[in-house]
């Protein structure tokens, strides 16, 4: 009876299930705090690397030089070990979907692999999958590099410039943690049962795969391509092909309206928590601007197209949902940034996992310390069959 009286929160909105020191999402003001640091100060202009944010989330403070080097070396060791494992993970990397491959490959790690080993392995498996999908041999990790530079090198088969590595760091730091998002919650639920770290990470990868969570950026790029092509531009083929640019007036609006009329959602727009523009969109937008300044041309054109589509989508969604702000989320500019970095769109969700694993591992540790089984209630709305031992007409 108690469960019948409780309010139903099918999306668990407003339900607080944990105290955390890791991150805070302020949806009203559009602020993300990562262990005390504003994301806009930490990522990008702040110059934090993936290793820095691992130190921050795993150790509680930004690492000094010696500690940063220790974290870098441990993650590099994780990449080397995972690469050595490639021949022993069966057909995990033959999966057509990069997240299916990642989930299967990570399941081969020792159940209590430490965070640095998991982080190194996810980058290595994701990159190896991309190479295999492109019909190329996997590229062995370079133990001297930091994760961002080596991930780009392993995934593309070509060394990254410092500017590219820096902007991948911007991305990885920006997405490293984000409150009680679905994949983090999945990891915490598994951990709360007393299960192992790899089971929790595998569950998190499964949650991240969905299009409402980490599966959105690939479709965002498809949308930009479709609008660019419909406008007669040469957007299809990605930044490398030189596509994009501001579409002719009205073409983005028409495309967005047609999607909405067909009952489809606009990927990269809307958020469960943010009622203003996702602050991470601004961080990534600046990263693309910096890249466009160093590499020029196509990247700037794609950014102009993305901005025009964002404006059109925002206006259309405002007209449809005047009381529910639906603004650009992190995935919108993730698509443009990862494309500008030369990563294939099929690898975008797995690249999200490369960054978010920092948060997952920290939450697994925090949940273990909390030590309480997460077990919500449900409201039964099925019927009740009469018990077989009840005589017809009921009990006398």
Is 265 or 290 the residue whose CB approaches ligand COA more closely? 265
Closest CA to 125 of 369, 357, 364: 357
Q: Is 353 in the site for ligand COA (CB under 6 A)?
A: no
Q: Is 42 an interacting residue with respect to ligand COA (CB under 6 A)?
A: no
Site for ligand COA contains 40 (CB under 6 A): no
Catalytic residue among 164, 167, 310, 331: 331
According to CB under 6 A, which residues from 179 to 218 bind ligand COA?
212, 216
Among 254, 272, 275, 368, binds ligand COA (CB under 6 A): 272
Q: Which of residues 230-259 bind ligand COA (CB under 6 A)?
A: none
State the number of CA atoms in the 13 A half-sphere of 37 facing the CB.
Answer: 23
**Smaller CB distance to ligand COA: residue 188 or 271?**
271
Query: Of the two residues 73 and 260, which places its CB atom closer to ligand COA in the complex?
Result: 260
Under rule CB under 6 A, residue 11 binds ligand COA: yes
Candidates 37, 68, 271, 345; binder of ligand COA (CB under 6 A) is: 271
Question: 3-state SS of the chain?
Answer: CHHHHCCCCCCCCCCCCCCCCCEEEECCCCEEEECCEEHHHHCHHHCCCHHHHHHHHHHCCCCCHHHHHHHHHHHHHHHHHHHHHHHHCCCHHHCCCHHHHHHHHHCCCCCCCCHHHHHHHHHHHHHHHHHHHCCCCCCCCCCCCCHHHHHHHHHHCCCCCHHHHHHHHHHHHHCCCECECHHHHHHHHHHHCCCCHHHHHHHHHHHHCCCCCCCCHHHHHHHHHHHHHHCCCCCCCCHHHCCCCCCCCCHHHHHHHHHHHCCCCCCCECCCCCCCCCHHHHHHHHHHHHHHHHHCCHHHHHHHHHHHHHHHHHHHHHHHCCCCCCCECHHHHHHHHHHHCCCCHHHHHHHHHHHHHHHHHHHHHHHHHHCCCCCCCCCCCCCCCCCCCCCCCCCC
Task: Determine the interface stretch with ligand COA among 145-153, 157-165, 224-232, 262-270 (rule: CB under 6 A).
Answer: 262-270
Judged by CB under 6 A, the residue of 228, 243, 245, 268 near ligand COA is: 268
Candidate residues 266, 301, 312, 337; the one interacting with ligand COA per rule CB under 6 A: 266
Residue closer to ligand COA, measured from CB, 131 or 213: 213
| Least distance from ligand COA to the Cβ atom of residue 170, Å | 17
108 catalytic residue (yes or no): no
| Nearest to ligand COA of 115, 217 (CB atom) | 217
Pick one of 21, 293, 311, 324: the residue that binds ligand COA (CB under 6 A): 324
- According to the binding rule CB under 6 A, does residue 280 interact with ligand COA? no
Smallest distance, ligand COA to C-beta of residue 129, A = 22
Which of these is catalytic: 37, 213, 271, 363?
A: 271
Stretch that binds ligand COA, among 30-38, 45-53, 182-190, 319-327 (CB under 6 A): 319-327
Catalytic site positions: 271, 331
> Where does this chain bind ligand COA (CB under 6 A)?
11, 212, 216, 265-272, 317, 321, 324, 326, 329-331
């Amino acid at each position: 009876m108690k469960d019948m009286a409780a309010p139903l929160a099918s999306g668990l909105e407003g339900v607080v299930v944990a105290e955390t020191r890791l991150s805070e999402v302020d949806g009203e003001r559009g602020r993300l705090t990562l262990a005390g640091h504003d994301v806009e100060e930490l990522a990008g202009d702040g110059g934090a690397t993936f290793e820095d944010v691992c130190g921050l989330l795993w150790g509680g403070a930004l690492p000094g030089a010696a500690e940063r080097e220790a974290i870098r070396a441990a993650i590099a060791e994780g990449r080397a070990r995972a690469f050595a494992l490639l021949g022993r993970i069966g057909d995990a990397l033959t999966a057509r979907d990069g997240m299916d491959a990642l989930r299967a490959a990570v399941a081969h790690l020792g159940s209590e692999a430490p965070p640095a080993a998991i982080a190194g392995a996810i980058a290595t498996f994701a990159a190896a999958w991309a190479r295999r999908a492109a019909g190329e041999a996997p590229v062995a990790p370079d133990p001297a590099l930091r994760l961002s530079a080596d991930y780009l090198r392993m995934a593309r088969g070509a060394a990254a410039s410092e500017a590219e590595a820096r902007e991948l760091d911007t991305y990885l730091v920006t997405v490293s943690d984000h409150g009680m998002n679905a994949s983090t919650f999945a990891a915490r639920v598994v951990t709360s049962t007393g299960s192992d770290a790899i089971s929790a990470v595998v569950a998190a990868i499964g949650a991240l795969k969905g299009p409402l969570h980490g599966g959105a950026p690939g479709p965002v790029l498809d949308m930009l391509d479709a609008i660019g092509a419909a406008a007669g531009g040469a957007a299809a083929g990605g930044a490398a092909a030189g596509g994009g640019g501001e579409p002719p007036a009205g073409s983005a609006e028409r495309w967005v309206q047609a999607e909405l009329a067909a009952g489809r959602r606009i990927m990269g727009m809307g958020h469960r928590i943010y009622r203003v523009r996702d602050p991470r969109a601004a961080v990534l937008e600046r990263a693309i601007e910096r890249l466009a300044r160093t590499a020029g041309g196509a990247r700037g054109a794609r950014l102009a197209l993305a901005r025009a589509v964002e404006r059109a989508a925002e206006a259309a969604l405002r007209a449809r949902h005047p009381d529910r702000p639906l603004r650009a989320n992190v995935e919108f500019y993730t698509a443009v940034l990862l494309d500008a970095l030369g990563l294939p769109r099929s690898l975008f969700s797995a690249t999200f996992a490369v960054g978010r694993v920092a948060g997952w591992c920290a939450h697994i540790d925090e949940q273990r310390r909390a030590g309480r089984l997460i077990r919500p209630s449900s409201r039964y709305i099925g019927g009740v069959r009469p018990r077989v031992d009840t005589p017809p007409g009921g009990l006398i």
